[in-house]
């Protein structure tokens, strides 16, 4: 079996080598010529998997080590017998960590008490659900909006978009990118001029889903007119060639790295490996091929555990709080991840958007850290840290 894999997918090398021929390529090198003889692809969002890439190949399975799937032409794959699978939820905790850091940074800059504020979450899948739990741990009131889930799963406790536009002090988007063909579930440019005009409380606006969910000219106008109090963007239209004017207007700007924790990347790799292993028996050109990966299938949980074990420990895994600090909780969060560092890096060199992602530092999630203090922590403070995933000394 020949597997072509994006060379920037971490912790993958060595997993398949005993059972398959591996070809590791930079995203720009994954072309119709280099995948022609491949049976499987393991990719990220930077590889467009469509007819132009796949039509004359024998690819039978695409595993993307990402949550998003808008880089895969799923309709074409479905009609041409190409199976595909994404790593749903792999970096949900990473995005929740990003949002926790961003909410705290914004609140400190503007002197806000998050415990008195309402967060409206639009899109409540794996990521939105984790963000809701983190916001609740911070003491925020949380409003959930996800019409497709409500309709399909008959869920309760959700609100309509108008309620969020009327009551939220912070609004965050965690939806997949869906075009006009999805009818009422379309998300492309859902945050348009009309969306911002209907906001009642001048909320802070966050987008860590997909860039084209937001109409960027409308967002710029909303910032200029004071329809929102500020914006935090991790994703952009036309990445990596982002709008420099918009960059100058937003509160916090990052290069599509909200889900880029080392933990999330390892999860994505492990899920992509599992997808290929489970579907290593393929129909290709009306012929049945059985790729003998029984040893991997039988040990897939151990293989996944081995991948996760490759994630390096943080440089400073123990966070010692300063008893004199006015914001000890924020200190603990920023010791694990401070969104302001990524904001500064992007503003200093926006032309390096892609390389900032490609060479992103090792970032560990909250459970990789232990928080200690020389003074007893208030029980509420301790409970919040535990709910976010920190360990306590």
DSSP assignment of 311-356? SPPPSS-EEEE-TT-S-HHHHHHHHH--HHHHHHHHHH-GGGHHHH
- Which pTM was predicted? 0.91
The answer to whether residue 258 is domain-embedded is no
Give the residue from 235, 253, 271 where a domain finishes.
253
Domain that holds residue 349: 315-392
List, by residue number, the catalytic residues. Answer: 210, 239, 256
Structural domain total, the chain? 3
> How many CB atoms within 10 Å of residue 78?
11
Q: Are residues 28 and 141 in the same domain?
A: no
Q: Are residues 98 and 83 in the same domain?
A: no
Q: Are residues 269 and 138 in the same domain?
A: no
Q: Are residues 99 and 239 in the same domain?
A: yes
Q: Are residues 297 and 368 in the same domain?
A: no
Q: Are residues 330 and 304 in the same domain?
A: no
The answer to whether residue 300 is domain-embedded is yes
Q: Are residues 232 and 143 in the same domain?
A: yes
CATH number at residue 184: 3.40.50.720
Antiparallel, parallel or unpaired: β 170-173 and 230-233: unpaired
DSSP 172-241: EE------GGGGGG--TT-BSHHHHHT-SS--EEEE-S-GGGB-HHHHHHHHHHTSSSEEEES--TTTTS
Q: Are residues 271 and 231 in the same domain?
A: no
Contact 346, 247 (CB under 8 A): yes
Give the residue from 234, 253, 272 where a domain finishes.
253
Q: Are residues 106 and 219 in the same domain?
A: yes
| Helix/strand/coil for 116 | helix
The answer to whether residue 143 is domain-embedded is yes
Q: Are residues 322 and 300 in the same domain?
A: no
What pLDDT score does 128 carry?
A: 97
Query: What's the residue count for the chain?
Result: 393
| Structure tokens given for 127 | 């990521």
Rounded CA gap, 277 and 12, in Å? 13
pLDDT of the chain along its 393 residues, tens only?
Answer: 899 999 999 999 999 998 889 999 999 999 999 999 999 999 998 899 999 999 999 999 999 999 889 899 999 999 998 999 999 999 999 999 999 999 999 999 999 999 999 999 999 999 999 999 999 999 999 999 999 999 999 889 999 999 999 999 999 999 999 999 999 999 999 999 999 999 999 999 999 999 999 999 999 999 999 999 999 999 999 999 999 999 999 999 999 999 999 999 999 999 999 999 887 765 545 555 556 677 787 888 999 999 999 999 999 999 999 988 999 999 999 999 999 999 999 999 999 999 999 899 999 999 999 999 988 899 999 999 999 999 999
Q: Are residues 115 and 212 in the same domain?
A: yes
CATH number at residue 384: 3.30.1370.170
Q: Are residues 223 and 167 in the same domain?
A: yes
């Amino acid at each position: 079996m020949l597997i072509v894999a994006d060379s920037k997918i971490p912790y993958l090398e060595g997993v398949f080598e005993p059972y398959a021929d591996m070809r590791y390529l930079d995203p720009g090198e994954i072309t119709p010529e280099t995948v022609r003889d491949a049976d499987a692809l393991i990719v990220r969002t930077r590889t467009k998997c469509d007819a132009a890439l796949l039509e004359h190949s024998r690819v039978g399975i695409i595993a993307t080590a990402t949550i998003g799937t808008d880089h895969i032409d799923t309709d074409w794959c479905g009609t041409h017998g190409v199976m595909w699978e994404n790593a749903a939820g792999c970096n949900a905790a990473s995005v929740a960590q990003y949002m926790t850091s961003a909410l705290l940074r914004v609140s400190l800059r503007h002197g806000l008490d998050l415990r008195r504020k309402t967060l409206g979450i639009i899109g409540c899948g794996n990521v939105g659900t984790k963000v809701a739990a983190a916001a609740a741990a911070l003491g925020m009131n949380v409003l959930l909006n996800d019409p497709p889930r409500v309709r399909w799963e008959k869920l309760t406790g959700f609100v309509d978009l108008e309620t969020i536009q009327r009551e939220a002090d912070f609004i965050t988007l965690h939806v997949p990118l869906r075009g006009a063909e999805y009818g009422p579930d379309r998300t492309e440019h859902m945050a348009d001029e009309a969306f911002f005009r209907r906001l009642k409380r001048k909320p802070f606006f966050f987008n860590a889903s997909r860039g084209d969910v937001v109409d960027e000219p409308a967002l710029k106008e909303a910032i200029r007119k004071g329809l929102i109090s500020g914006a935090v963007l991790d994703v952009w239209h036309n990445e990596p060639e982002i709008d420099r004017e918009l960059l100058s207007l937003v509160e916090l700007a990052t290069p599509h790295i909200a889900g880029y924790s080392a933990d999330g990347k390892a999860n994505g790799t492990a899920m992509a490996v599992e997808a290929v292993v489970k579907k290593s028996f393929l129909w290709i050109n009306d012929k049945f091929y059985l790729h003998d990966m029984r040893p991997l299938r039988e040990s897939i949980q151990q293989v996944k555990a081995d991948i996760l074990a490759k994630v390096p420990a943080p440089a400073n895994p123990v966070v010692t709080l300063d008893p004199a600090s006015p914001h000890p909780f924020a200190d603990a969060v920023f010791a694990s991840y401070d969104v302001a560092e990524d904001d500064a890096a992007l503003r200093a060199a926006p032309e390096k958007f892609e390389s900032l992602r490609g060479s992103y530092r090792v970032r560990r999630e909250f459970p990789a850290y232990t928080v200690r203090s020389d003074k007893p922590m208030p029980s509420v403070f301790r409970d919040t840290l535990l709910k976010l995933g920190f360990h306590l000394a």
